[in-house]
Amino acid sequence: MKNLSQAVKQYLIVTGNYWAFTLTDGALRMLVVLHFYQLGYGGLEIASLFLFYEFFGIVTNLVGGWLGARIGLNKTMNIGLALQVIALAMLAVPSEFLIVPYVMFAQALSGIAKDLNKMSAKSSIKGLVKDKGNADSQLYRWVAILTGSKNALKGAGFFLGGALLSWFGFQLALAIMAGALLVVFAFSLYGLQDDLGKAKKKPKFNQLFAKSREINYLSAARLCLFAARDIWFVIALPLYLASVFSWQHWQVGAYIASWVIGYGIVQGVAPKLTQISSQLNINQALFWVINLTLTTLVLALLIHYQVSIEWTLLIGLMVFGVVFAVNSSLHSYLIVKYADKDGTSLDVGFYYMANAAGRLLGTLLSGYLFQVYGFAACLWGAVILLTASAVCSIALPKKD
């Protein structure tokens, strides 16, 4: 560690914080879905538990980006860690206290915490990469490593959530996670720089919506992309595996974990798959989303006509995950690249506000479509949303 530059040390601390938070975030999602399904809640009712989680994620990304530029990303990241500890502790109470409004409030805190943490981590990289000949290539690699490793650990979190629910039960599992994250929070208070990501010129609140054309179109493409994922992934898939295939909690968690881990690994190596060095041909963003749309269309047709459903689902969603990961990694690089150097978190916060809006839309549609029309309808919804993402990608600049 002594031989590492200060920028690399800060990057490692930011990444470590992001990793620890992500484990608890993935585990919490799986714990809530499976525990309340076990209590007899339907798909739409379970989706409603995440309503405030996603809604306050939208608000947090918008306001949090402005706040990070004013007070520093170290503070917004640490606030996120502290709020997640509180949210986990709130849910680690006896079951009789877990009424829907209470759970929604705790999930709201978790949603604020998650997006403060993610916005802070992604924004800080821009300031840590020095301007030099290979800055674009290094920026893409660092963003890909952070994003890919985070999603791999989120997958591990899904497995952890299913396993902890089976081993310890809902309340004790949450108490264990809250204690572990509290230790990470204490270390982060000591290790992060005070001026990380703080803008030289304090941004005004009315600058929140003043975005460039490329950021607006990229944000719209991101909204549709993540709505297309969560429309089948968040609610419909776990319930489908548990109800149709009669999988146990740990099996549901293990499969979803393997999907997200594989997705994260692909994100991490995306710079090699897209062969990007110092210049990025933006046409690749359109190329990969068209591939994802066609992949989802084939999968929807196979599920609709019930062609070897279990194998189609298991293999088809793995293929979807690979192509989706490249799309996501390209987007994550582009927003950091497009963002202004001074006050990066403003642009990144706006972009992840759109990301959170996509998750909210996908979550609500996932619960509704699955409950009313079934799993195939969720995939058809994904096809429509991916088509919209492709249309938005057409408007991106053709050259970096």
Domain boundaries, the chain: 6-198+207-394
Residue 85 has pLDDT above 90, yes or no: yes
Q: Residue 278's pLDDT band (boundaries 50, 70, 90)?
A: very low
φ and ψ of 340, to 5 deg: -65, 145
Instruction: Return the DSSP state at 194.
Output: T
| Burial class for 142, CB neighbours closer than 10 Å (0-12, 13-18, 19+) | buried
214 pLDDT band (50/70/90 cuts)? Answer: confident
Q: Say how far apart CA 124 and CA 54 lie, in whole Å.
A: 23
Q: What is the pLDDT of residue 277?
A: 44
Which pLDDT does position 38 carry in this prediction?
A: 80
Flag the least confident range among 114-128, 152-166, 202-216.
202-216
Contacts of residue 150, defined as CB under 8 A and 6 or more positions apart, other chains included, come to 18, 19, 22, 118, 121, 264
Tell me the pLDDT band of 14, cut-offs 50, 70 and 90.
confident
Which CATH homologous superfamily contains domain 6-198+207-394? MFS general substrate transporter like domains (1.20.1250.20)
* pLDDT of 120 above 70: yes
At residue 204, does pLDDT exceed 70? no
User: Which position has the higher pLDDT, 172 or 193?
Assistant: 172
Tracing tokens 């720089």 back to the chain, one arrives at 193
pLDDT at 47: 75
Cβ–Cβ < 8 Å for 196, 73:
yes
Q: Is the per-residue pLDDT at 1 higher than 60?
A: no
Mean per-residue pLDDT, 172-185: 91
Band of pLDDT at residue 226, cut at 50, 70 and 90: very high
- Predicted pLDDT at 127: 58
> What confidence category does residue 128 fall into, taking pLDDT thresholds of 50, 70 and 90?
low
Dist. CA 389–CA 400, nearest whole Å: 19
Question: What value does the mean pLDDT take over residues 97-126?
Answer: 81
Relative orientation angle of helices 100-128 and 73-91, to the nearest 10 degrees? 160
Give the mean pLDDT of 241-265: 79
Judge whether residue 191 has pLDDT over 80.
no
**Percent of the chain whose pLDDT exceeds 90:** 16
Q: Cβ–Cβ contacts within 10 Å for residue 299, how many?
A: 22
pLDDT single digits (tens) 297-314? 999 999 888 888 888 888
Contact residues for 290 (Cβ-Cβ < 8 A; gap 6+): 390
Whole-structure pTM value: 0.69
How far is Cα 103 from Cα 176, in angstroms, rounded to an integer?
18
Alpha carbons 202 and 196: distance in angstroms, whole number? 14
Name the residue among 41, 22, 23, 25 with its Cα closest to residue 33: 41
Question: CA-CA distances (angstroms) from residue 166 to 30, 37, 175, 281, 353?
Answer: 12, 14, 15, 47, 34
Contact 332, 200 (CB under 8 A): no
Q: How many CB atoms lie within 10 A of CB 190?
A: 7
Q: CA 354, CA 348: separation in Å to the nearest integer?
A: 10
Query: Taking Cα atoms as reference points, which of 284, 261, 86, 68 lies closest to residue 174?
Result: 86
In the chain, DSSP finds a helix count (H) and a strand count (E) of 15, 0
Q: Which band of pLDDT confidence, cut at 50, 70 and 90, is reported for residue 71?
A: confident
User: What percentage of the chain reaches a pLDDT higher than 70?
Assistant: 78
Label residue 38 left, alpha or beta by phi (over 0 means left) and psi (-120 to 50 means alpha): alpha
More confident residue, 339 or 82: 82
Three-class SS of 125-138 = HHHHCCCCCCHHHH
Whole-number Å distance between alpha carbons of 341 and 15: 20
User: Each residue of 27-45: pLDDT tens digit?
Assistant: 888 888 888 888 777 777 7
What is the C-alpha separation between 52 and 255, in angstroms, rounded? 27
Packed helices 100-128 and 135-168: angle between N→C axes, nearest 10 degrees: 150
On average, the pLDDT of the chain sits at: 79
Is it the case that residue 125 has pLDDT exceeding 90? Answer: no
